Amino acid sequence: MFAFLRRRVYTSLVPLLVVLIGVFFLARLTGDPTSLYLPESATPAQREAFAAQNGFDQSVWTQMADYFGGVLHLDFGESLRTGEAASTMALRAFPATLQLAFVTMLLAVIGSIVIGCWAAYRPNSIADRFSSLLSMTAASIPDFWFAITGVWIFAVVLGVLPTSGTGGAAAWILPIATLLIRPLGVLTQVVRGAMVSALSAPYVRLARSKGAGDLRVVTHHALRNAAAPALTVAGDLTVGLVNGAVVVEAIFGWPGIGKLMIDAILQRDFAVLQAAVLLTAVSIFVLNIVIDACYALLDARVRDKAKV
């Protein structure tokens, strides 16, 4: 098991390095911060002083070397806008994103298990076809379209939900519903397919012949063996939630890492953008390793393959 985890950590280092280099260069494509933070009446001397103060007068390779040196010492620089440490701003915003992703994924897992098991227990019935239609529709709806439509209907037209913020339980409904719809649709189909195969397996027929009830057959026998593929997909969807919350947080004004990235891009705040992207990338890599470890615990073939 430790050999498997060590191998996964090593294979994650190269993508992480690519992310570090990519975000460094892409951040600088947003434009020169000097023209944004200094007035139009600023003199050339003032512009040179601003560039020298923030290291923009150095070559891009020198700036990148300083950036990597800071990363190795966990120093990501300071925000051009507030003067606060970029790492502090990223760490303060990240829990809001994790809370949103955790609650969304928890609801998606519970809902998909209930709907998927119900549909698989009676395959090809009206209930099965109806759940398949709903799940495929949910998996096909773009997040941004659902978010904008939800704001227009429930916040603008009906006025029953807030448009943004985190104050009160009502503020969570639209962001969670927007992020929930796709994972719920995808997971329902995965659970349904895995449960159909599991319920037709010989060990399930053996359990029925021994007098096991329907509930016990579904929960104790079939569902346990159908958990591995569902766990893999759920892990990928969780990574997608953390990575894809940028649009949702921007629409609903959710104070998470996604909104921080958008603000940093608009304000050309390179240090904050680099810290936010790096923190997100590291969390995604760690989450992938945890998912792989859980999958390896469920399937011994994965552990054996890692030893080869």
Phi, psi of 201 (to 5 degrees): -75, 155
- At 209, the pLDDT band (50, 70, 90 cuts) reads low
Class of domain 86-307: mainly alpha
| Paired strand residues for 85 | 78
pTM as predicted = 0.73
Please give the Cα distance from 116 to 71 (Å, whole number).
45
| 14-68 pLDDT, tens digit each | 777 888 888 888 878 777 787 778 777 778 888 888 888 878 878 888 888 888 8
| 264-290 pLDDT, tens digit each | 888 888 888 888 888 888 887 887 777
Task: Write down the mean pLDDT value for the chain.
Answer: 78
Does the pLDDT of residue 124 top 80, yes or no? no
- At 176, the pLDDT band (50, 70, 90 cuts) reads confident
Quickly list H helices, 55-85: 60-72
- CA 6 from chain centre, in angstroms, equals 23
CB 123 within 8 A of CB 228: no
> Quick one: CA torsion of 180, 183, 189, 193, rounded to 10 degrees?
-130
Instruction: List the structure tokens of 218.
Output: 């579904």
Ordered by start, the domain boundaries in the chain are 86-307
Q: What angle do CA 212, 213, 217 make, to 5 degrees?
A: 75
| 217-273 pLDDT, tens digit each | 666 656 666 666 777 777 778 777 776 677 788 788 888 888 888 888 888 888 888
| 9-27 pLDDT, tens digit each | 667 677 778 888 888 888 7
Q: What is the DSSP string of 186-224?
A: HHHHHHHHHHHHHHTSHHHHHHHHTT--HHHIIIIIIHH
| 296-305 pLDDT, tens digit each | 665 555 555 5
Instruction: List the structure tokens of 84.
Output: 């606060």
Instruction: List the structure tokens of 167.
Output: 């104050």
Residue 212: per-residue pLDDT: 61
- At 5, the pLDDT band (50, 70, 90 cuts) reads low
Name the nearest CA neighbour of 257 among 233, 235, 241.
241
CB 272 within 8 A of CB 264: yes
CB 188 within 8 A of CB 115: yes
What does the pLDDT average to over 145-172?
81
Residue 48: per-residue pLDDT: 82
Please give the Cα distance from 87 to 85 (Å, whole number).
5
Instruction: List the structure tokens of 221.
Output: 């026998």
CB pairs under 8 A, 24+ apart, for 128-132? 128/192, 131/188, 131/192, 132/189, 132/192
